[in-house]
Amino acid sequence: MVLIADGGSTKADWIALDENKNEVFRTRTLGLNPAVVAKEELNNRIVNMFQLINIKDEVKEIHFYGAGCGTQKPIEILRDVMSSIFSNATINIAEDLLAAVYASSGNNPAIVAILGTGSNSCYYNGNDTEMLVASLGYTVMDEASGNYFGKQLLRDFFYNKMPKQIAKEFNNQFNLDEDEIKMNLYRKPNPNMYLASFAKFMFEFKEEKYTKRLIKKGFQEFFKYKVLPFNKGKETPIYFIGSIAFYFRDILEKVARKNNLVITDVIQRPIDNLLEYHKNLN
């Protein structure tokens, strides 16, 4: 049995394959970002998924691509967790950007970006991923991500910068008690996921001037820091992966054109394309 997984901070999609590379089942766990989730909680999120535990002794290979897996320390944390559960498996862990590359450009050169709960980008030269800078996560970077927009929405609401009707609806949909917010941000696990939970609100008001301006500003920041410095022209394919890119594709494409670039494709969830990539490997 082989497990292939694409793991963000919010969720992780899993597919199990038999020895003939036929799909056996799919499942989803909570996010398994080892940079922000404690080791015990990582373990719990896997063992609480009965479909994975039912086959744990049959799994021979795991290919896990995840947020927070760009440096060695978090990779080792997650590897220790998985090794203790899937004791018979060879475990391969790589960052989610590599899954994004395989799911979009395959083995062809391209700029590949993620805009989901978090955000990141790379240039894939056909062999290796090239990063502009190390990603320092949701508190410092993650421009135009779900947690970035969640943070902006909260700031605008409390600073009274949000239009009244939108602010009224925002208040109706979320618990905006100050103590509740601070508890989620500073005491509970996954503050990045908590912040990103507010971003879905933007879709209801995506035609409003306030929302368009907010999204355009975030996307322009992302291009400024995570795309334009690669110094690639229109001839280089650009792929975006993730829910923020998918649901606001029209605005994203306008911002790209403003920067004299063209987006090749936007993929909401890369797991299907990732599966085909692995099936086609020798």
Strand 110-115 and strand 238-241: the pairing is parallel
Determine the Cα–Cα distance for residues 233 and 211; give it in Å rounded to an integer.
29
Q: Which single residue is written with the structure tokens 């086959």? A: 55
Tokens matching residue 30: 């909570």
Domains with residue ranges and CATH for the chain: 2-99+271-279 (3.30.420.40)
- pLDDT, averaged per 10 consecutive residues of the chain (282 residues), comes to 90 92 93 91 94 95 92 94 96 91 89 93 90 82 94 97 96 96 92 93 94 97 96 92 94 96 92 86 68
- 192 Cβ neighbours under 8 A, 6+ residues apart: 9, 33, 36, 117, 118, 137, 138, 142, 147
pTM of the model: 0.86
Terminal CA-CA length for the chain: 16
Task: Give residue 197's pLDDT.
Answer: 94
For residue 282, what pLDDT is reported? 61
The pLDDT of residue 140: 84
Residue pair 267/105 in contact (Cβ under 8 Å)? The answer is no
